[in-house]
Copies of this chain bind each other. A is one copy, B any other.
Amino acid sequence: MTATQSELVLDAEAQALLFREARTANTFSDEPVTDEQIRAVHELVKWGPTSMNQQPLRIVLLRSQEARARLLPHLMEGNRAKTEQAPLVALLAADTEFHQNMPKVFPIKPDAKDIFADPGFRESNAKLNATLQIGYFFLGVRSAGLAVGPMTGFDAAGIDAEFFPEGDRKVLVAANIGKPGENAWFDRLPRLAYEEVVTTL
């Protein structure tokens, strides 16, 4: 254990599972991903914090061949083969009408819904907080012993029109999910150093 790791309370096995040994998968085995696994991930990551408990993330699981076929044309060429092959594909989207839930999820402030009356303010809140929740979700998928292959290389407007014609969802990320297959990893890419990321005032 390095001096740095000894500052952490999280056990080394969990550190490896979630971060140090976890990798973005580009191929997957045939082993299915069950609804029970995704439910367990939800029951874990739902506790992650969002502004005023907004919880704007919505997840669409593409299980059927028909649903998968509707997505593929909107992906960048290089993302199509792996998405066709993955056991499960999830669309991760922001609910821009999340404020309808505020009386239920933030009962301590009865007028919380009204704070988000402005559509632009609502959308920026929805996107920020749903994206935080996507970060939690990825680590939740890894908590279930699965690999995730996140993608942002797609035509977002095309996906929104195809899957969310009512206009109340904005796709942020798509993610392939499953057990890694053969040659699933590229070489690990360099990370920025502490000094490049953190400044102290």
Interface residues of A in 147-189 (CB under 8 A from B): 148, 150, 152-153, 163, 172-173, 186-187, 189
Min CB–CB distance A54 → chain B (angstroms): 10
Taking CB as reference atom, which chain B residue is nearest A88? B200
Q: Is the CB of A105 within 8 A of B5?
A: no
- Please determine whether A200 and B35 come into contact, CB atoms closer than 8 angstroms: yes
| A15 contact set on B, CB distance < 8 A | 44, 143
Residue A110, interface by CB 8 Å: no
Is there an interface contact between B38 and A198, defined as CB atoms closer than 8 Å? yes
Question: Which residues from B are CB-within-8-Å of A127?
Answer: 128
Complex interface: chain B residues within 8 A of A61 (CB): 198-201
Complex contact A48–B138 (CB within 8 A): yes
Whether the pair B101, A128 counts as a contact (CB closer than 8 A) is no
Q: How far is the CB of A2 from chain B (nearest CB, A)?
A: 8
Residues on B with beta carbons closer than 8 Å to the beta carbon of A196: 101
Kindly report which residue of chain B lies nearest to residue A20, judged by CB atoms: B47
Q: Which of A18-46 contact B (CB under 8 A)?
A: 18-20, 22, 24, 34-46
Q: Are B60 and A201 in contact (CB under 8 A)?
A: yes
- Which 6 A/B pairs are nearest by Cβ-Cβ distance? A135-B135, A7-B40, A67-B201, A9-B145, A10-B143, A14-B14
